[in-house]
Amino acid sequence: MALFFPMIFLSGATIPLQAMQGAIRNYVKVLPLTHVVGLLRGAWVGESWGQHLTEVAVLSGLLVVGVLISLKTFRWE
């Protein structure tokens, strides 16, 4: 929860990114939830997937990294 709530407020889900200062806007671009919010907003207003290739690529990359880490660390014992 200590990471989740700040990420919600900084991702643009509650406060628009345009209302944030420049230094904070540069920081929030590395948060995964920022890309989720951008993709969901684009889907909501009917934008094509081609306009959100960056978000799809970042989230797909995080998925691959998460699966690789879980394959390396998780054991059925």
User: What's the predicted TM-score (pTM) here?
Assistant: 0.79
Contact (CB, 8 A) for 34 and 9: no
The pLDDT score that the predictor gives to residue 56 is 93
**SS3 of residue 10 by DSSP:** helix
State which residues form the domain around 65: 4-73
Q: What is the chain's pLDDT, residue by residue, as a tens digit (77 residues)?
A: 888 888 888 888 888 888 888 888 888 888 889 999 999 989 899 988 889 899 999 999 999 999 999 999 998 87
Q: What is the pLDDT of residue 57?
A: 94
Average pLDDT, the chain: 89
Q: What pLDDT score was predicted for residue 65? A: 97
Structural domain count of the chain: 1
Query: Given this model, what pLDDT does residue 60 score?
Result: 95
Cβ neighbors of 48 (< 8 A, separation 6 or more) are none
